[in-house]
Amino acid sequence: DIAELRRLDVAHHLPAQADWAEIEKLGGSRIITHAEGCTIVDGDGHRILDGMAGLWCVNVGYGREELVEAAAAQMRELPFYNTFFKTATPPTVTLAAKIAQLTGGRLPHIFFNASGSEANDTVFRMVRHYWKLKGEPKRTVFISRWNAYHGSTVAGVSLGGMKAMHAQGDLPIPGVEHVRQPYFYGEGQGMTEEEFCDACVAAIEDKILEVGPENCAAFIGEPVQGAGGVIIPPKGYWPKVEAVVRKYGLLLVADEVICGFGRTGKMWGHETMGFTPDLMPMAKGLSSGYLPISATAVASHVVDVLKTGGDFVHGFTYSGHPVAAAVALKNIEIIEREGLVERTGSITGPHLAKALATLDDHPLVGETRSIGLLGAVEIVADKETRARFGGAEGTAGPMARDACIANGLMVRGIRDSLVMCPPLVIATEQIDEMVAIIRKSLDEVMPKLRA
Ligand code: PLP
């Protein structure tokens, strides 16, 4: 029973990225028992519209029998085999070829891992190994951005730009430098979008020159920062970043863990943003979260160099897991058959943008923004000055999030914003429902925030 599960949760379970003392005070985690389509259901029978697609991942929605069948069939045939012994399995190889095709042939070599963090660890080691083999062993430094999220492993946290994560574990490890994020609403006051864009790009060039181009290995970024607050860069940002990165010969890494598989209205975030990476970690939408699997797609000019180095002594037990690969293949088949990428680009994405814009007149809303089915609502104390509640960032988002959840919508509160990332199968009526719940929740928290 649910009360007993909550008791066991407090006694024995340490949930991810959580304040365990707070969960203990709440009497345990909310137990999610089942889900269908875009709706999750908890142990008390509350139905909650899932505005977060689980954790930015359940792109095809819940309850897909085809994925269940694909997993069961593969488990019967071959539940596991590794890729360490000059071995591979049919779904692993077929999935690699499928992903290569989805990159338009630009990144045709696929290394499998189980999580987005691991996909970035693979990037980290591949890139440094590449430069050694190229005869430029000093090129070790990664340039990343503040508030980037690249995972929770030591390399993932280091590449990421979350100061709270750095503080726990004395990270980043040496060889990672951070520059400002392209957060126009938060940091661009008094500038045009173009001026702000150029300042952000100049910060990257300045950092490269400070470190010394001969020491720089790669620039890494999410096409649109997700966990950093759905930071949609100003127009022209990525092509300009790409030009600077190419000028100094760094490799360019697009972390597509959230943006990949249609989230921004095209298959890849880098297509939406107009640049071409050399390496590309992906996860989440690859299997719609039904099983853990991730991949690092790599360009031929990088792999050609890596092939001169003998064994690449890197890999995981679950690299290319056949059951996860079979599920990913079926998931991609669904995405293609149902036209979910095109639907996001031309129907649901524009609908979300329009629906969010109806919140612009709300006294607490400083800005709404979205791209595809990735959106944010900025909460401010003063629309004119963009002042935050309590002076510092971070009060309003979590408070509004809790109100949304109580009102039947799962969203995330990041600093002073609400962010959302619904399944790509969401109906336009459900988008309207999401926005109505956000409005109602903002109305409810307004007196508390202003008290
Ligand atoms: N990269 C990005 C852009 C992410 O958003 C995430 C997770 O949210 C990760 C990497 C890490 O993925 P995982 O949690 O599967 O390790």
pLDDT of 75 above 90? yes
Task: Please name the residues in contact with 299: beta carbons below 8 A apart, sequence gap of 6 or more.
Answer: 106, 107, 108, 109, 277, 278, 279
State both tokens at 377: 């609502």
Distance 418 CA to ligand 1 centre (A): 19
Does 391 score more than 80 pLDDT? no
> 178: helix, coil or strand?
strand
Interval 416-426 mean pLDDT: 98
What is the number of the ligand 1 atom nearest to the C-alpha of 292? 15
Q: Is the CB of 150 under 6 A from ligand 1?
A: yes
Output the CA 258–ligand 1 centroid distance in Å: 7
Q: Is the pLDDT of residue 100 over 90?
A: yes
Pairing of strands 365-371, 409-410: unpaired
Query: Is residue 296 in contact with ligand 1, taking CB distance under 6 Å?
Result: no
Taking only Cα atoms into account, the Rg of the chain, rounded to an integer number of angstroms, comes to 22
What tens digit of pLDDT does each residue of 330-369 get? 999 999 999 999 999 999 999 999 999 999 999 999 999 9
Atom of ligand 1 at shortest range from CA of 117: 16
Q: How far is the CA of 118 from the centre of ligand 1 (A)?
A: 9
Determine if ligand 1 sits within 6 Å of the CB of residue 397: no
Nearest to 374 by CA among 210, 237, 222: 222
Per-residue pLDDT reduced to its tens digit, 19-48: 999 999 999 999 999 999 999 999 999 999
Task: Output the pTM of the full model.
Answer: 0.98
Task: Using a pLDDT cut of 70, give the percent of the chain over it.
Answer: 99
pLDDT band, residue 236 (cuts 50/70/90)? very high
- C-alpha 122/C-alpha 126 separation (Å) is 6
Testing ligand 1's pocket by substitution, the residue of 118, 149, 414 carrying the most ligand atoms inside 8 A of its CB is 149
Cβ(115) – ligand 1 distance below 6 Å: yes
Strand 216-221 and strand 141-145: pairing? parallel
Q: Whose CA is nearest to atom 1 of ligand 1?
A: 150
Rounded distance between C-alpha atoms, residue 388 and residue 365, angstroms: 11
Rounded Cα–Cα distance for residues 52 and 59 (Å): 10
3-state secondary structure 357-402: HCCCCCCCEEEEEEECCEEEEEECCECCCCECCCCCCCCHHHHHHH
Please give the ipTM for the structure prediction.
0.99
Would you say the C-alpha torsion 274, 275, 276, 279 has a positive or negative sign?
negative
Question: Is residue 215's pLDDT more than 70?
Answer: yes
